[in-house]
């Protein structure tokens, strides 16, 4: 039941659509006056009446029924009271019948969403800077799938550029097979860092690196083999992290994949008269749009990041015929995306409007940021390992007899890292704190996971005592029960909003809020010791429904739910 739509369908305001009314209906901060409220202030101008008079008049004609029990005017607000028994019946039936699909929809049927996320750089460490894109993209992937879309997850690998020439040069000078085989990305990164240090003193190294990169481009067998090996090593290393985070991709077509697909794009730009020469480089002038020019070819004829992204967008449209193509990339690249989206639009690609840069803020650790070149970089692998370790220590203290404690600690530790990156609105810069992320009483994944375990344990007790509770008569809900029911009813709209705004944080906040409502209910209402059998059965159904809803929300975020904690 979508109460906002339900209410809006029963209200007429001259010159205002039902949709606008539905959007204006809000949940008041203090629910003692009503479960929903329509503020009438913004209709005052159109209707030429005071908000208080409008609310009075609307209240007088509102048709109360078994869904919305009453409408009353207070100040400029029209307050609605939901029929709680009806709500209980409706929500419980919906959750129980849909189960792990509760909150899903088929609105995306026949539509395709491409999601470019994680998009790591070969031979560079998978550092904390790639955390957000990976988990945000992974969550959006799940959310859109849940809404019935065909989703294409793309890891647009950074596997092209002079840095690979540098790496080959460094490898040949100071590396060897055994060292790199053993050390993986870390060894490659050390070589890269050393190259930069030594090149500062000896600029000839840079020329050597350029020459090696040219060899890769020309298909030199030895250089290509090294490059492919570096790539395989990197992917093998990061796979461990993807497995922990439950992240998958449908395509690993990275920048080098577009090497032979850029020439036609450059040609098309030339034909359409968009290309101009500027100091030897080929550019598209974007001054009319308040942006610096988009450089397509450097003066030595080599392509750029933007050139490859244009080829990639065209390729994706042709291959997947997407309805939307999302790029989950840090806001530092805002200009890059604005520029090449604009160039595609100028080329007459009407689908350029379907390209979306899903920008997010920076994640840093309490002890400072990182730089790949200098080498003081925080590996995501280390952050996750430390979280698991801490989770393990906390669990040992809280529940020494916990079965399967290593697996639970992994689920809790990984969840804390993921949740830490998804809890805030994505555009915000955040500082990750181990203490905060693993606080059992905070706004954390472990708090939600613990709530799930608590619900599961109540249900287990009921099962052991042979108590059947499905399909029973529903008594009039008490306050804490009603508040919990309203929260449970809001999952479907929260999933929709998260997809609409590309904000998994809505689901993270929703999960915490719902867990809080459950815990309030758990304290206020005795479940197994309820006054009547009818109440006990109803509370058990509520508990089961809460477990389903929280599990669905966490799953969409990419976070696991341990049975016991
Ligand atoms: N590899 C790039 C980086 O780490 C991100 C690529 C994002 N995707 C894209 N199509 N440009 O900064």
Ranges assigned E (strand) in 134-197: 150-154
Q: Is the dihedral angle over the CA atoms 101, 103, 108, 114 positive or is it negative?
A: negative
Residue 71 and residue 529: Cα distance in Å, rounded? Answer: 35
Q: How many A from CA of 120 to the centre of ligand 1?
A: 7
Q: Given the DSSP bridges, would you call strands 363-365 and 150-154 parallel, antiparallel or unpaired?
A: unpaired
| CB distance 158 to ligand 1 below 6 Å | yes
| CB distance 125 to ligand 1 below 6 Å | no
Structure pTM? 0.93
| CB distance 282 to ligand 1 below 6 Å | no
3-state secondary structure of 457: helix
User: If one looks up domain 112-260+304-365 in CATH, what number appears?
Assistant: 3.40.50.620
Residue 23 and residue 29: Cα distance in Å, rounded? Answer: 17
Known catalytic membership, residue 130: yes
CB contact at 8 A, 297 and 263:
no
Choose the residue to mutate in 333, 344, 370, 380 for probing ligand 1, maximizing ligand atoms within 8 Å of C-beta. Answer: 333
* CA of 305, closest atom in ligand 1: 11
Choose the residue to mutate in 116, 121, 156 for probing ligand 1, maximizing ligand atoms within 8 Å of C-beta. Answer: 156
Residue 247 and residue 6: Cα distance in Å, rounded? Answer: 38
Domain ranges in the chain? 3-82, 112-260+304-365
Residue 396 to residues 387, 406, 433: CA-CA distances in angstroms?
14, 10, 21
Q: How many A from CA of 305 to the centre of ligand 1?
A: 9
The residue length of the chain stands at 565
Nearest to 365 by CA among 384, 381, 378, 374: 378
3-state secondary structure of 297: strand
Backbone phi and psi for residue 219, each to the nearest 5 degrees, phi listed first: 85, 25
| CB distance 329 to ligand 1 below 6 Å | yes
Residue 164 and residue 143: Cα distance in Å, rounded? Answer: 36
Q: How many A from CA of 119 to the centre of ligand 1?
A: 5
CB contact at 8 A, 536 and 528:
yes
Nearest to 157 by CA among 247, 258, 229, 243: 258
Residue nearest to atom 6 of ligand 1 (CA): 119
Q: Which of 127, 324, 517, 535 is catalytic?
A: 127
Known catalytic membership, residue 357: no
| CB distance 327 to ligand 1 below 6 Å | yes
Choose the residue to mutate in 117, 158, 355 for probing ligand 1, maximizing ligand atoms within 8 Å of C-beta. Answer: 158
CA atoms within 13 A on the CB side of 361: 16
| CB distance 116 to ligand 1 below 6 Å | yes
| CB distance 313 to ligand 1 below 6 Å | no
- 64, with CB counted inside 10 A (0-12, 13-18, 19+), is middle
| CB distance 121 to ligand 1 below 6 Å | yes
CA atoms within 13 A on the CB side of 288: 6
Which residue's entry shows tokens 């294409």? 152
Q: How many A from CA of 460 to the centre of ligand 1?
A: 47
Residue 25 and residue 23: Cα distance in Å, rounded? Answer: 6
Write out the two tokens for 22: 């539905």
> What's the CA dihedral at 206, 212, 216, 222 to 10 degrees?
-150
Encode 186-253 in three state secondary structure.
HHHHHHHHHHHHHHHHCCHHHHHHHHHHHHHHHCCHHHHHHHHHHHHHHHHHHHHHHHHHCCCCCECC
| CB distance 326 to ligand 1 below 6 Å | no
| CB distance 481 to ligand 1 below 6 Å | no
Q: How many A from CA of 156 to the centre of ligand 1?
A: 7
Residue 404 and residue 399: Cα distance in Å, rounded? Answer: 12
User: If one looks up domain 3-82 in CATH, what number appears?
Assistant: 3.30.1360.70
Q: Render each residue's pLDDT in the chain as its tens digit; 565 residues.
A: 788 999 999 999 989 999 999 999 999 988 888 999 999 999 999 999 999 999 999 999 999 998 999 999 999 999 999 999 999 999 999 999 999 999 999 999 999 999 999 999 998 888 888 999 999 999 999 999 999 999 999 999 999 988 899 999 999 999 999 999 999 988 999 999 999 999 999 999 999 999 999 898 888 999 999 999 999 999 999 999 999 999 999 999 999 999 999 999 999 999 999 999 999 999 999 999 999 999 999 998 889 999 999 999 999 999 999 999 999 999 999 999 999 999 999 999 999 999 999 999 998 887 654 444 444 678 899 999 999 999 999 999 999 999 999 999 999 999 999 999 999 999 999 889 999 999 999 999 999 999 999 999 999 999 999 998 887 889 999 999 999 999 999 999 999 999 999 999 999 999 999 999 999 999 999 999 999 999 999 999 999 999 999 999 999 999 999 999 9
Q: Which of 124, 166, 317, 426 is catalytic?
A: 124
């Amino acid at each position: 039941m979508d109460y906002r739509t339900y209410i809006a369908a029963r209200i007429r305001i001259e010159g205002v659509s039902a949709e606008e009314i539905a959007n204006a209906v809000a949940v008041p901060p203090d629910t003692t006056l009503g479960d929903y409220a329509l503020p009438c202030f913004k209709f005052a101008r159109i209707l030429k009446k005071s908000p208080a008079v409008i609310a009075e008049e609307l209240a007088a004609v509102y048709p109360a029924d078994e869904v919305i029990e009453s409408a009353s005017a207070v100040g400029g607000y029209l307050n609605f009271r939901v029929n709680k028994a009806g709500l209980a019946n409706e929500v419980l039936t919906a959750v129980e019948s849909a189960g792990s699909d509760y909150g899903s929809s088929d609105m995306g049927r026949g539509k395709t969403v491409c999601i470019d996320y994680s998009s790591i750089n070969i031979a560079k460490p998978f550092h904390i800077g790639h955390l957000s894109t990976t988990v945000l993209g992974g969550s959006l992937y799940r959310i859109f799938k849940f809404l019935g879309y065909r989703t294409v997850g793309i890891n647009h690998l950074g596997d092209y550029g002079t840095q690979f020439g540098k790496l080959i040069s460094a490898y040949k000078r100071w590396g060897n097979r055994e060292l790199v085989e053993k050390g993986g990305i870390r060894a490659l990164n050390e070589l890269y860092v050393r190259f930069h240090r030594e090149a500062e003193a000896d600029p000839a190294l840079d020329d050597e690196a350029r020459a090696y990169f040219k060899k890769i481009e020309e298909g030199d067998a030895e250089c290509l083999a090294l490059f492919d090996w570096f790539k395989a090593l990197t992917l093998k290393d990061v796979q461990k992290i993807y497995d922990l985070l439950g992240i998958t991709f449908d395509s690993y077509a990275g920048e080098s994949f577009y090497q032979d697909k850029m020439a036609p794009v450059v040609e098309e730009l030339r034909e359409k008269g968009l290309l101009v020469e500027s100091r030897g480089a080929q550019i598209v002038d974007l001054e009319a749009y308040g942006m610096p020019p988009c450089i397509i070819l450097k003066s030595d004829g080599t392509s750029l990041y933007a050139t490859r992204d244009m080829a990639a967008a065209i390729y994706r449209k042709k291959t997947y015929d997407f309805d939307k193509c999302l790029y989950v990339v840090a806001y530092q690249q805002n200009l890059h995306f604005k520029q090449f989206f604009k160039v595609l639009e100028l080329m007459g690609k009407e689908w350029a409007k379907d390209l979306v840069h899903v920008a997010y803020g920076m994640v840093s650790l309490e002890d400072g940021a990182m730089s790949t070149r200098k080498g003081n970089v925080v590996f995501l692998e280390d952050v996750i390992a430390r979280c698991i370790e801490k989770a393990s220590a906390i669990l040992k203290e809280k529940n020494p007899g916990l079965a399967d404690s290593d697996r639970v600690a992994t689920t809790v530790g990984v969840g804390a890292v993921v949740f830490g990156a998804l809890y805030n609105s994505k555009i915000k810069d955040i500082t990750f704190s181990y203490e905060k992320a693993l606080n059992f009483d905070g706004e954390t994944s472990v708090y939600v996971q613990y709530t799930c375990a608590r619900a599961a344990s109540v249900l287990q007790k009921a099962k052991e005592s042979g108590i059947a509770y499905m399909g029973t008569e529903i008594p009039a809900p008490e306050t804490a029960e009603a508040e919990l029911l309203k929260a449970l009813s809001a999952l479907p709209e929260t999933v929709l909003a998260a997809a609409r705004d590309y904000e998994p944080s809505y689901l993270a906040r929703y999960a915490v809020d719902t867990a809080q409502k459950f815990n309030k209910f758990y304290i206020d209402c005795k479940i197994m010791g309820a006054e009547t059998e009818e109440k006990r059965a109803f509370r058990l159904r509520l508990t089961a429904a809460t477990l389903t809803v929280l599990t669905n929300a966490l799953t969409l975020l990419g976070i696991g739910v341990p049975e016991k904690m």
